[in-house]
Chain A
Amino acid sequence: MSFQEVWSPFLIGSFLWFAGIAGMGSVAYALLRLYRVEEKLRELSLVLFASIVLALVFVVADLSRPLNMPLAILGSLASGVFIAKLAVSWMTLGISLLSILLVLTLALALRHTAVPALSKFTDNKYFLALLALVGLLVTLYSGFLISSAPGVPFWNTALIPVLWLISASICAIAVLKILVHEEKLSRILTTSSLALDAAELIAIAALLNVALYSGSIAAKISARALLAGELAAPFWAGVVVLGVLAPLVLGFMLLKKEDRRLALAAAVLALIGALVLRILVIQAGVFEVVGL
Chain B
Amino acid sequence: MRLAHLWDQSKCIGCGACIAACNAANYASSTKENRTWGWIRSNIKRITFDLNAKPYLLLVQCQHCDNAPCVAVCPTGASYKDKDGLVKINPSLCIGCKYCMTACPYGARWLDEDTGLPAKCMGEECLSRISGGLEPMCVTVCPAGARAFGDIDDPKSEISQKLRKGRVVKLLEYKGTQPKYFVVVGP
Seen from chain A, the residues whose Cβ lies within 8 Å of a Cβ on chain B are 2, 4-7, 62-66, 68-69, 71-73, 75-76, 79, 81-82, 84-85, 88-92, 94-95, 145-146, 148-152, 155, 285, 287-288, 290-292
Within the complex, the shortest CB–CB distance from B167 to chain A, in Å, comes to: 11
Complex interface residues of chain B between 74 and 94 (CB less than 8 A to chain A): 74-78, 92-94
A292-B185 contact, Cβ under 8 Å, with A79-B77, A150-B175: yes
Residue contacts A-B, CB under 8 angstroms, 11 given: A6-B102, A6-B111, A64-B116, A68-B92, A68-B116, A72-B93, A76-B93, A94-B75, A151-B106, A290-B171, A292-B58
Q: Closest residue of chain B to A90, judged by CB?
A: B73
Chain A contact residues: helix, strand, loop or mixed: loop
Whether A91 contacts B73 by the Cβ 8 Å rule is yes
- Per the bound structure, the CA–CA distance linking A288 and B92 in Å amounts to 29
Q: Does B183 have its Cβ within 8 Å of any Cβ on chain A?
A: yes
What interface size band does chain B fall in?
A: 35 or more
Whether A85 contacts B58 by the Cβ 8 Å rule is no
- Per the bound structure, the CA–CA distance linking A258 and B187 in Å amounts to 76
Seen from chain B, the residues whose Cβ lies within 8 Å of a Cβ on chain A are 9, 35-36, 38, 47, 49, 56, 58, 60, 69, 72-78, 92-99, 101-107, 111, 113, 115-118, 169, 171-172, 175, 177, 183, 185
Whether B77 contacts A6 by the Cβ 8 Å rule is no
Q: Closest residue of chain A to B107, judged by CB?
A: A287
- Per the bound structure, the CA–CA distance linking A76 and B93 in Å amounts to 7
Q: Closest residue of chain A to B9, judged by CB?
A: A292
A7-B98 contact, Cβ under 8 Å, with A89-B75, A91-B73: yes
- Per the bound structure, the CA–CA distance linking A288 and B77 in Å amounts to 24
